[in-house]
Structure 1
């Protein structure tokens, strides 16, 4: 390509330079002819005007005036078009056009006045707005450009001659380089053949070090090559090459479905994947072999061979059988757990219906009995009725909380994007309304930082905020004002870390282990009412969402509850099976 393309490009460049020089000459000639035409038309118009002023008037003179008028403006337009790529000439031509227009105005004035033309009009026509020096400057500039372009053309011709001679020298050097490169390629080919022989030997060594049996067979399924693992497993030696595969290893490969699939690999261009075959190998053990095969061309022959690998999966099959047995046992356990769950559901139904009705009767009839007896009831009887009614109501609340706790473990999670800011705000509004009605003089200061959006079950997470913020309000009733803070940060693993802090009663950290158990209370029911199930429900919800909860506190100095949730987009990793 260098020998052919470079001379062509050089010749093309010289031709383009010559054509450019010729176009420059034509362009200069066109500019000059247009300038001369413009000057001639202006002079013709002015001389005709002067003739009219001198008293000469005939048809020929009038025709001359009309022709001159028609030629001046088109000549100026052509001159502007020819010099459009030259800003300096455009400036001169603009000045020339202005002068020509003014001279034409004087000429038209003289023509219109005829013999009555004033001396001022004649003087303006002859002496004002000269154009000769502008025409001379335009022509001089075009001739300078022509001289410059001709010099460039001659320089390009000289460079082209030099490049042609240089290209001829380069072609000679290139031919010499080709000859030298050919000799080097020949030497490299010889070295490559030597390296290929050594690589083949290394490949044979590597093949023998592979502990998986490998064998190559031709279209007749005769052994072409095998590795040491194949020879060891099937009890053959180096003379096995050329023997039928079906006779190797005492007939270990004599299985018609397997042999038919191996023939299809070569005849139909298919591949064989994970075909199981039971084989009795040279060590006397019945094995399950996983056979894979694919066609492969030989580097030293036009024939294809089939590359066969055999993997011993006997241990894996035994493990599969063991796993199947364990799965069967697990299915039985699952059925037992299902029976227990059904019993628990029946118990929940009984609690929610059969037990709650008697409790409602006790509370309701206790109130009616108190109203019925009225003033006839003494203080001790009134105390007995109050204890009975309050205990029934407490038992009903305890059953309700137990049912909520049970549903939190049994119900399926409906995962969606949940705005924790909205949940916290809704819970705060509800708690403020309750506090205003129950303790109108108690003031609560809320500080809720911006909270993120998480992935989870909205109803379950609402229970978390109801219990944590409700406890913060309840245990800070004695503090005036009560200060409750909610904040959120990110842990090192990307999880959302929430904190709920209050300045309430607090608790002793040595009892923190009981805090999240069912019916575990760190304060008496008379001091702070409750069933002791709320925090256990919080722990169950967070556990199902893949989070955790813990607390820090000091008696009389408030408490801080911490809980974490996976970042938005992470799948909740439930650590607790629904029951």
Structure 2
């Protein structure tokens, strides 16, 4: 036996051998642990990539669902705004209509881009896209009829039925695509859940080898929970801020949950409503109808469950009744199908509809009165043109005979009286002609076309110069003024306004008449005719456009008192406004617009002071 320092050496060698063996075993274990860690990292990385792919697929499907919901909501807003405007004629309904109609085509293109990797759904969208375009066209036609107040008289039922059929077809197609996407979403969620479990298993195994991975996993889990909690809180705030009462109802017609607005509408808290029948919220006479409504809705579970709307009478906790509108749509959950019912108080809308109905009746009566008035006006025009003109012509003719054949028998006063008589007859005939012209003009149909207003103004000015070529008048007419309107009627406007400027500057040794236009902030233009003539007192400006009201004596300036009234009627028929400013002996400025959104009736949008 060999000894080492008095002890047997073999036990030492055996311990050394065993120590080396344990070191090698620990080294192999460490290498194996490192290999396992590397392998775990590799597997975890691959699983993570698969998880990301599943998440992207899930996010993509959700984006598709959101896009489908946005398109459906915009189409509903288009139809609702178009109908509201066509019925009420209120311009406030046009902004949401045009906004929604303009946003639909880009949303459809965006959805087609999202579905580029899904040929089946892309084909379904391509098939329904022409129907969407047709529906938008029908709604625009309805708005155009509403703009001309023709919706009730022409095409109301046709446009309404066509729009409803197209909308049902669109909703059906979108709902079918949504159902397919939700099924895909459920599959992706299951796949994502499986991938998540796999990753968590690998993370757990790796945590035994590296505590850092455990900490990272814990932090990631905490972050996910925190985000989920934030998302739930955001959803709760969103539901609480909704203007409608929102109810989640199961197949038995029982309330599963409700939002804060539901308590404001009906007086019941969410705790009080849970488990109660929706029939609690309507009067007894409507409860059977509501039960049948939900029963019929859930009976379609095997087929397509559409979004439906029903108008009922709501019942508050205090017994008060009020009109409501209930919209119901399906909501698929893991534990079965439920529906969401959004209930809105439509008391204000019903009051508006009642007021509209009352106004429509008043308008019908007014239309009858206007028709009678037009017939009376035609009879008056006939009477003026035949019954009054003939006696005046007789008086004028006999007066002329007196002058020509009996002048030597009349003294100077008698001849003067006869001349005055003839002048009065001729003035009366001018008034009759002006009245007939005004009547015919108001009954004639507008012939709208684009033309050069500057050229027309130069023509009218040239005609005035020919009547009195010796007068010194500086004409300043802006060039390049193109408008859309009735050329004949607008010629009447310029003839009257230029004629007045010509007439009331007659006492000036050298007069100035200006015609031009100033742009407004809304893109329209304000036209003006300015002179440096007799002017007028602004205190009497309210009488300017009243027939037969004259601000100057007949002996000073001749006229019928109909010209400015005629001008005002023409401007009004072009949906414009006219107003005037003047200073005695310093001139006058007449301003007018040719659209209902141009200019300002207070005359502050241009310098009305006549040039010196």
TM tier relative to shorter chain = 0.5 to 0.7
2:578 aligned residue = 548
Does structure 1 residue 238 correspond to structure 2 residue 275?
no
Relative to 1, partners in 2 of residues 1:511 and 1:216: Cα closer, same or farther, differing over 3 Å?
A: closer
Q: Whole-Å Cα distance in 1 between the matches of residues 516 and 374 of structure 2?
A: 39
Partner deviation per Cα, 1:232-263 (whole Å, 9 max, x = no partner): 83857637645655577797644254224532
Equivalent position SS for 1:537: helix
Q: 1:213 aligns with which of 245, 257, 261?
A: 245
Relative to 1, partners in 2 of residues 1:216 and 1:515: Cα closer, same or farther, differing over 3 Å?
A: closer
Aligned 1:264-275 pairs, distance under 5 A: 266-275=301-310
The range that moved more, 264-273 or 215-224, is 264-273
Runs of 5+ unmatched residues, structure 1: 4-175
Runs of 5+ unmatched residues, structure 2: 1-41, 43-205, 602-612
Q: 1:537 aligns with which of 563, 566, 588?
A: 566
Aligned 1:90-109 pairs, distance under 5 A: none
Relative to 1, partners in 2 of residues 1:487 and 1:294: Cα closer, same or farther, differing over 3 Å?
A: same
C-alpha deviation, 1:190, in angstroms:
4.5
Equivalent position SS for 2:468: helix
1:290 aligned residue = 325
Q: Give the structure-2-normalised TM-score.
A: 0.55
Q: Whole-Å Cα distance in 2 between the matches of residues 420 and 494 of structure 1?
A: 18
- How many residues get paired? 389
Q: 2:404 aligns with which of 366, 371, 383?
A: 371
Does structure 1 residue 560 correspond to structure 2 residue 592?
no
Q: Whole-Å Cα distance in 1 between the matches of residues 490 and 283 of structure 2?
A: 69
Q: Whole-Å Cα distance in 1 between the matches of residues 348 and 513 of structure 2?
A: 62
1:27 aligned residue = none
Q: Whole-Å Cα distance in 2 between the matches of residues 246 and 522 of structure 1?
A: 73
Does structure 1 residue 306 correspond to structure 2 residue 336?
no
Preserved CA contact (<8 Å) 1:544 1:573? no
1:278 aligned residue = 313
Partner deviation per Cα, 1:136-163 (whole Å, 9 max, x = no partner): xxxxxxxxxxxxxxxxxxxxxxxxxxxx
1:449 aligned residue = 478
Preserved CA contact (<8 Å) 2:515 2:528? yes
C-alpha deviation, 1:197, in angstroms:
4.3
Equivalent position SS for 1:391: helix
1:382 aligned residue = 415
Does structure 1 residue 196 correspond to structure 2 residue 250?
no
Does structure 1 residue 487 correspond to structure 2 residue 516?
yes
Does structure 1 residue 469 correspond to structure 2 residue 498?
yes
Partner deviation per Cα, 1:27-67 (whole Å, 9 max, x = no partner): xxxxxxxxxxxxxxxxxxxxxxxxxxxxxxxxxxxxxxxxx
Preserved CA contact (<8 Å) 2:331 2:339? yes
Q: Whole-Å Cα distance in 2 between the matches of residues 494 and 237 of structure 1?
A: 54
Partner deviation per Cα, 1:472-529 (whole Å, 9 max, x = no partner): 2223334344443333332445442334334444445555444433223343323322
Aligned 1:72-91 pairs, distance under 5 A: none
Q: Whole-Å Cα distance in 2 between the matches of residues 486 and 474 of structure 1?
A: 16
1:343 aligned residue = 376
Does structure 1 residue 516 correspond to structure 2 residue 545?
yes
Preserved CA contact (<8 Å) 2:593 2:599? no
Preserved CA contact (<8 Å) 1:249 1:282? no
Relative to 1, partners in 2 of residues 1:484 and 1:245: Cα closer, same or farther, differing over 3 Å?
A: closer
C-alpha deviation, 1:309, in angstroms:
1.5
C-alpha deviation, 1:450, in angstroms:
1.6
Preserved CA contact (<8 Å) 1:446 1:484? yes
Preserved CA contact (<8 Å) 2:253 2:277? yes
Partner deviation per Cα, 1:506-557 (whole Å, 9 max, x = no partner): 44555544443322334332332222222232233334431222132342x5
Q: Whole-Å Cα distance in 1 between the matches of residues 477 and 273 of structure 2?
A: 82
Relative to 1, partners in 2 of residues 1:385 and 1:264: Cα closer, same or farther, differing over 3 Å?
A: farther
C-alpha deviation, 1:462, in angstroms:
0.9
Equivalent position SS for 2:406: helix
Equivalent position SS for 1:442: coil
Instruction: Answer with 1 or 2: which has the greater Rg.
Output: 1
Q: Give the structure-1-normalised TM-score.
A: 0.58
Q: 1:321 aligns with which of 336, 348, 354?
A: 354
Relative to 1, partners in 2 of residues 1:541 and 1:200: Cα closer, same or farther, differing over 3 Å?
A: same
Partner deviation per Cα, 1:413-462 (whole Å, 9 max, x = no partner): 333324211210110121122224xxxx4344333232511233222211
Aligned 1:422-433 pairs, distance under 5 A: 422-433=455-466
Relative to 1, partners in 2 of residues 1:195 and 1:459: Cα closer, same or farther, differing over 3 Å?
A: same
Preserved CA contact (<8 Å) 2:512 2:532? yes
Preserved CA contact (<8 Å) 1:236 1:248? no
Relative to 1, partners in 2 of residues 1:400 and 1:265: Cα closer, same or farther, differing over 3 Å?
A: farther
Preserved CA contact (<8 Å) 2:281 2:316? no
Q: 1:528 aligns with which of 553, 557, 566?
A: 557
2:74 aligned residue = none
Relative to 1, partners in 2 of residues 1:509 and 1:213: Cα closer, same or farther, differing over 3 Å?
A: closer
Relative to 1, partners in 2 of residues 1:200 and 1:349: Cα closer, same or farther, differing over 3 Å?
A: same
2:22 aligned residue = none
Partner deviation per Cα, 1:132-187 (whole Å, 9 max, x = no partner): xxxxxxxxxxxxxxxxxxxxxxxxxxxxxxxxxxxxxxxxxxxx9xx989984674
Relative to 1, partners in 2 of residues 1:572 and 1:424: Cα closer, same or farther, differing over 3 Å?
A: same
Preserved CA contact (<8 Å) 2:449 2:486? yes
Equivalent position SS for 2:566: helix
Relative to 1, partners in 2 of residues 1:461 and 1:306: Cα closer, same or farther, differing over 3 Å?
A: same
Partner deviation per Cα, 1:184-233 (whole Å, 9 max, x = no partner): 46742443135424643664466457574322123444433233554683
Q: Whole-Å Cα distance in 2 between the matches of residues 213 and 354 of structure 1?
A: 71
C-alpha deviation, 1:393, in angstroms:
0.9
Q: Whole-Å Cα distance in 1 between the matches of residues 321 and 539 of structure 2?
A: 64
Relative to 1, partners in 2 of residues 1:253 and 1:492: Cα closer, same or farther, differing over 3 Å?
A: same
Relative to 1, partners in 2 of residues 1:254 and 1:202: Cα closer, same or farther, differing over 3 Å?
A: farther
